Amino acid sequence: MAYTYEPIATQTLGSSSATVTFGSIPSTYTHLRIVTTYSFGSVNRIGVRFNSDSGTNYSNTWLTGSGSAAESFRETSMSYIFSQWSGVPVTNPSLTVFDIFNYGGSTNKTVLVSTSGDQNGSGRVERGVGLWRSTSAITSLTVNGVSQNFTSGSSFTLFGIKAA
């Protein structure tokens, strides 16, 4: 029996890794949520892909605060749904939440992204929206460190949310 909001799977890295994949996602929920706390060796971007689609079928719009300025950015025809700035040294992991709406539906997939990271002198708060231009149901997803590995200890939990 699926509860309204429940964890589907959790992965905590015992060693560094470039990707974390959740496969065979049950179709019994309405929305998915990925909650991650992670670090990279240096400034990098975290991204997510669906159903192994590595094509330029993703796009992103962000609102960011850097500690000195508020800015907004957009990227089109990308190969991930991104957070624009993400985790740094091991002692101060970043937090990113991806909210994936109606993942089993037959429309393109909208994702709300929240990222928070503070390094006691630098950091970023970001809110973003992403689009995967595919009407396929999501059956797997891969979280990527775009150009660097996630460090050991980084954790990733996939939740399912089921509407009435």
Contact residues for other proteins (CB under 8 A)? 1, 3-5, 30-31, 59-64, 70-74, 76-77, 99, 101-102, 105-108, 110-112, 114, 127-131, 133, 135, 161-164
106 vs 120, beta carbon nearer other proteins? 106
120 vs 164, beta carbon nearer other proteins? 164
Cα distance between the two ends of the chain: 13
Query: Which residues contact residue 123 at a Cβ distance below 8 angstroms, ignoring those fewer than 6 apart?
Result: 66, 67, 117
Shortest gap between Cβ of 152 and other proteins (angstroms)?
Answer: 31
Shortest gap between Cβ of 110 and other proteins (angstroms)?
Answer: 5
Neighbour count for residue 21 (Cβ, 10 Å):
14
- With residues binned 3-state (H G I as helix, E B as strand, rest as coil), the percentages for the chain, rounded to 5, are 0, 55, 45
61 vs 140, beta carbon nearer other proteins? 61
Q: Which of left, alpha, beta for 84 (phi over 0: left; psi -120 to 50: alpha)?
A: alpha
78 vs 90, beta carbon nearer other proteins? 78
